[in-house]
Amino acid sequence: MTKRKLIAGNWKMNGNLEANDALVRALVAGMKDAGCDVAVCVPAPYLAQVQMLRHGAKLELGAQDVSQHASGAYTGEVSAAMLREFGVRYAIVGHSERRQYHGETDALVAEKAKAALALGITPIVCIGETLAEREAGRTEEVVKRQMAAVIHVNGHCISEIVVAYEPVWAIGTGRTATPEQAQQVHALLRKQLAAATPQAERVNILYGGSMNAANAASLLAQPDIDGGLIGGASLKSADFLQIIAAASA
Ligand SMILES: O=C(CO)COP(=O)(O)O
């Protein structure tokens, strides 16, 4: 049985009450026959709004981060338990923007994945090399190291996560990895997961980085690309719906 693909939108720090309303209503109306799983990962203040708007629809709700702590004196943090109260099904952890601008380490990202799993939230664990790392021939070493940290901390739960391979040089640049480049890394990650769990085939490995309506189909046709994590194109309902259609084919 082939597993369902997952198309997740990462709105990043975009949106407002009015724009979110229009976007979510258009998605809910347009994705009735979706043959894949669909989620939107929204800024924390809008979780309640989007939860209400998606009521009864197949659109899943995601967060863009989660604290590694359960509760307590951690100003500014949002716990997995809080996310749960708003019907959150997915939480992005370790996005390269958080690794880059907020100093998140491999170890912290692994702890965040664990905190999400403990509350029944599926972490979407982002990994990927920078341009300098790729050009230095270090892609394999970097993504394996990032993946290994998450496997190490999450042990037997590892088949419950979603992985997103997002080459940093492809994010927001319009420069997409070729289907072959992406597949090569996805296959490598699948192999690494298979060494840790007999359920590696169950894990959705998403591609992210300038995925759009025009290139989605060829990326999603690769054997180890099980969906997409979409930034810019997830803010336009028509584009996002086209990607959903490509993943449903
Ligand atoms: O970072 C991404 C999703 O998490 C990708 O962003 P873009 O689709 O805008 O390149």
**Annotated binding residue 215:** no
**Annotated binding residue 11:** yes
Of 6, 10, 127, which is best to mutate to test ligand 1, by the most ligand atoms within 8 angstroms of its C-beta?
10
* Candidate CATH numbers 3.40.220.10, 3.20.20.70, 3.40.50.300, 1.10.10.10; the one for domain 6-248: 3.20.20.70
Dist CA 61 CA 191 (whole Å): 29
Distance 210 CA to ligand 1 centre (A): 6
- Residue closest via CA to ligand 1's atom 6 equals 231
Give me the mean pLDDT over the 74-100 stretch.
98
Phi, psi of 19 (to 5 degrees): -65, -40
Q: Answer yes or no: 60 catalytic.
A: no
Q: What is the pLDDT of residues 196-239, one digit of tens each?
A: 999 999 999 999 999 999 999 999 999 999 999 999 999 999 99
Check: CB of residue 208 under 8 Å from CB of residue 126: yes
Phi, psi of 222 (to 5 degrees): -70, 145
Distance 90 CA to ligand 1 centre (A): 16
Catalytic one of 95, 97, 104, 160: 95
Catalytic one of 60, 129, 160, 166: 166
**Token pair recorded at residue 160:** 């419950």
Residues with CB under 6 A from ligand 1: 10, 95, 166, 171-172, 208-211, 229-233
pLDDT > 90? residue 59: yes
Q: What is the pLDDT of residues 148-186, one digit of tens each?
A: 999 999 998 999 999 999 999 999 998 999 999 999 999
Phi, psi of 69 (to 5 degrees): -95, 150
**Annotated binding residue 12:** yes
Q: Answer yes or no: 156 catalytic.
A: no
> Band of the pLDDT at 245, cuts 50, 70, 90?
very high
| 37, containing H or E segment | strand 37-41
Dist CA 76 CA 100 (whole Å): 19
